[in-house]
Amino acid sequence: MKKRGTSPEGPIKSSGIPSNKAPHPHQLADQAAIRIERDTMGEFAIPATALYGVQTARALHNFPISGLRFPRAFIRALGLIKWAAAQVNASLGLLEAKLARAIQQAAWEVVEGRWDQEFPVDVFQTGSGTSTNMNANEVIANRATELLGSPRGSRLVHPNDHVNLGQSSNDVIPTAIHVAAIELVSRRLIPALRRLHKALQTKSRQFDPIVKIGRTHLQDATPIRLGQEFSGYARQVELGMRRARQAQAALQEVALGGTAVGTGLNAHPRFARQVIRLVAREIGFPIKEAVNHFEAQAAQDGVVEASGQLRVIATSLMKIANDVRWMGSGPRCGLGELLLPETQPGSSIMPGKVNPVIAESLLMVVTQVIGNDTAIAVAGQLGNFELLVMLPVMAHNLLQSIELLAAGSENFSRRCIEGLKANASVCRESVEKSLAMCTALAPHIGYDAAARLAKEAYHTGATVREIARRHHVLSEDQLDQLLDPWNMTGARRTRPRRAAR
C-alpha cells in the first residue's frame, strides 16, 4: 500500500512543480504553504494560494516542456463555455441554483482575465487538452467554493460534477478553439486588415500620377503607375479580409454536445444547443452545433481550413512587404522609388544607415504564420478513430497566427505604409531608360524590328526613343504618342498635371 503523502511519481514535492523550470508565481511564496488534495490517483501537494487543483498540479509535474501557455483568447473562450454551461444546467434542473450562480460568477471572472495566472499548464500536454479543461474546471470550482464561503480545495463546488456537467474535454477544447479564433478574427485581425487596406488605398490614389517602370522576372518591363501597383496591394488585403471571414465560417460548427466520443453521453439533449446560443450571443457570431459530432471530434478539418486561409493572408502580406522593401532600397544605390519612414538607426557599425525594419518585421511574422500552418496541417492528420489528439498545439498555433497577423498588419500600416512617400524623380528617370519602351512600337513596325531597336539601345547606352529617331522608323508625332509612358499604363482619363512635371 502506498504511504500517505506520496504521489505516483514519488514523495510529494513542496509544490508539485518540476524544479528545472522557472517557478510558477505561487512558488515564490512560502514553500511550506501547501495544501494536499486527492484525486483518483492519490494525494498531491498544491500551493495553498493556488486556485487550481490536483489535476492541474499533476499536469505541471508531467509536462515541463516549453513554457508556452494558452493565450488570453483561449482562456476567455473556456470561461464563456463554463459560464454558459452553468446557466443552462441550472435552467434544465440539473444544477442547484446557488451553485450555478457561484460557478457563473467565477467563470465570468475567468472570461474577464482575472485569473489568467492560474492557467500555467504547458501547451505540449495531453492531446485532448484534458489538463487545460480540468485546469479551468478546478479554478472555477475553487473560486465558486470561495464565493460560497468555503475554503479552496474543499470541493463544495466540484470541478467534474458541477463545473464540467454535461461536458467532456473532447468537445469543450475543440469548441474553445473555434470560439477563441472566431472572436480574435473579429476583434483583432479584420480591424487590422481594414486599416492596412485603407492605408494602401490612400497611397494608391496619392501615387496614381506617378509613372514608373514595371518589372517582370526582376527585369525591366513596360511602364506602370505607382498607384496601380498599390491598388493591387490594396486588393490583396481586401481579399484577405474576405478570407478571414471564410476562416470564421470554417469554424462555425462547434463540437460541444458530443461529450467523449460524439454520442453525447451524459449531456442533456438540449444542453449543447442552449449553451452555444449563449456563447454565440457573447461573441457576436452565429456559431452552431455540429451537424455530425463524430466528424467534429474525430477530425479538425475546420481548423486546418481556417489556418489555410490565414496562410493565404500571410502570403499576400509577404508579397506587399517585400515589394515595399525592394522599392525602398537605397537610398542611393538601390531602386529608391519609395521613401520609407525612418524608424530607427539601422546599423551598429555604419553611421546614418536606416533599414526597412518594419517590413522585415512583417516578413518574419508571416514566415512564422506559414510555419504554424504547416504544423496545423500535420496535426490535422492525426485524428485517430474518435478523437484528434493534437488539439493544444493546433489551438496555440491557430491563435498565435491570428494575433501575429493582426499585430503585424497594424504595425505595418502605422509605421510604414501610412508614412510612405514616392520618389517621383527616380520613377520618371527609370522609365525613359527602359528597353521595354519598344513594346509600344511593335504593333506598328513589327516585333523583330522593335527587338533590333531594343538591342541597339542596350549596346549603345542610348534610349529606345533615340534609336527610333535615328532610324526614322516613324514620324516624330507618332513616336511622341506611342512612347508616352502615361499612355502605356492603360490610363482611361486625362493625364494629371503633376505627372507632366
Interior/surface letters 122-154, b for 16+ CB within 10 angstroms, e for the rest: bbebbbbbbbbbbbbbbbbbbbbbbbbeeebbe
Q: How far, CA to CA in Å, does 413 sit from each of 58, 358, 366, 419?
A: 45, 9, 15, 9
Q: Cell 508539485 belongs to which residue?
A: 16
Half-sphere exposure of 218 (CA within 13 A, CB side): 2
Q: Report the 10 Å Cβ neighbour count for 371.
A: 14
Active site residue ranges: 217, 347
3-class SS at 251? Answer: coil
d(CA 163, CA 94): 12
3-class SS at 414? Answer: helix
How deeply is 186 buried, as exposed, middle or buried, from its count of CB atoms within 10 A (0-12, 13-18, 19+)? middle
d(CA 255, CA 391): 13
Which sign, positive or negative, has the C-alpha torsion 92, 93, 97, 102?
negative
- Largest Cα separation within the chain, whole Å, is 107
